[in-house]
Amino acid sequence: MFEIIRNLTRRKLRNGLTVSGIVIGVLALTTLGAIAEKANYSIDGGVRYFRDHVSVGAAQNGGFGGGLLTVDKAKDIQAVDGVQAACAATGVSAKTDLDFSVSFGPGDQVTAEQPGCQQYSTFKLTYAKGHPIDETGTGQVVLGSDIAKEFKVTTGDTIALPRPPKKFNPDYVGHDFTVVGVLDKTLTAPDAFAIVSFSDGQTLFGDALPAALRGRVDPTTLATGINVYAKPGVDLDKLAQKINDTVPGVSAIAPSTLVNAFKSASVFLTAITTGAALLALIVGGLSVVNTMLMAVTERVREIGLKKAVGAHTYHVLREFLTEATILGVIGGLVGLGLGWGLALAINAYFASQNQNELFLVTSRLVTFALAFSIGLGMIAGVVPAIRASRLDPVTALRYQ
C-alpha cells in the first residue's frame, strides 16, 4: 500500500489533475444531488401529506386552491357514501409582497381547517415547542419550522398575519396572532404553514378577497377547499370520482393525480442527479483511464520485474486497480467535502437571508457519492490494469 501511495505522489501534478477531474465530478454530483434530495424529500413529504385525503375545490377553479367554496358543500360531501369527514379549510398567502425565496411548495401559507378534523389525517404533526392552537378560539397560531425561522419568532411572540407589505398598501389588513407552538421539521408543506383556527382562517381569507368582493360576501360561509377523509378501506380515487359525480359545483382531485404529479417532479430531479453522475463519470473516468494508462507505460519495466520475481497476473492487476481506486477515493472524499461545505455555506447564507435551505446532504447521498467515486476509480482502472497484468515479462523487462 505504501508503494502505491508513493507511486501516486511521484507524479504529483498529473495525479493532482486527475483527482481534480474526479473532484469536479463528485462536487457536481454532491451539490446537484443535495438539491435533488431536498426537493425529493419535499416531494415525498408532499406525497405523504396529500395521499391521506381527497382535496376538493370549487369546480370552476379546477378544484385545487384559491377558489370560492361555501362551507355548506362540506355537509353535502359528508353525505357521500364512504366519507368519514369532510372538513372545510382555508388557505391564504402569509405574505402580501411577492415571494422570491426558493421553495418547492406553494410558499408560506396561513392554513386552517374546521375543528376536530386533524384527528382524521394520517400525517401527524409534532411540536418542537408549545402546543396546538385552541381550534375554537381566535388569535393563536402554530408555525411550521421554516416559517418560524424565516419570521424569527417563537412561542409567546406576537406576529402579524399576513405579513405587512414593505411599502404602504391601503388594501392591507393584518391581524395579530400569539405564537403558541412551533412544529418539528417535516421537510414538506407544513414547514411553511402558519396554522390558525378555522374562524381566523375565514377572516384572513375574507380580508384577502379583492376589494370589489369584500363586504359583498360573508367570509364565515366561505372556504378555499374541503379536505375529505375516507372511512377505512375506501379507495380515495374512487371516492373522488363519486364526489364529482354526486355533488354539484365541486371538483375533487384523486390523490393519485397529485401523487403522480409529485412523482413526475421527482423523476425530473433524479434525472438531473443522474446527469451530474454521468458528467462525473465521463470527466473523472477518462482522466483516471488516461493517468493509469500513462502509469502503465511508464512502469512497464517495473511490471516486468515484478512478474520476474514471482508476481502473478492478479497481483499486478490488483496493484493497478488499487492505485486507480485510491485516485477515486481521494477525488471522492475531496469532492464530497467541498460539495458538502458548499451546500452548508449556501444553506447558511439562505438562512441568514430568512430563506429556506436549498440543499439537503443525506446519508444516502454521501454513501452514493463515495461508492460512486470508488466505483469510478475501479472501473476506470480496469482497462489499464488488465493491460499491465497481461504484459509479457520478457518484453516488459527490456522495454526502453
Contacts to another protein by CB under 8 A:
3, 6-7, 10, 301-302, 304-313, 315, 393-394, 397
C-beta separation of 45 from 259 below 8 A: no
CB 22, min distance to another protein, A: 23
Query: Given the complex with another protein, which of 305 and 379 has the nearer CB atom?
Result: 305
CB 396, min distance to another protein, A: 10
Query: Given the complex with another protein, which of 21 and 304 has the nearer CB atom?
Result: 304
CB 380, min distance to another protein, A: 22
CB 5, min distance to another protein, A: 9
Query: Given the complex with another protein, which of 189 and 303 has the nearer CB atom?
Result: 303
CB 9, min distance to another protein, A: 9
Query: Given the complex with another protein, which of 231 and 312 has the nearer CB atom?
Result: 312
Query: Given the complex with another protein, which of 230 and 396 has the nearer CB atom?
Result: 396
Query: Given the complex with another protein, which of 122 and 313 has the nearer CB atom?
Result: 313
Q: Is the dihedral of CA 75, 80, 83, 84 positive or negative?
A: positive
CB 383, min distance to another protein, A: 21
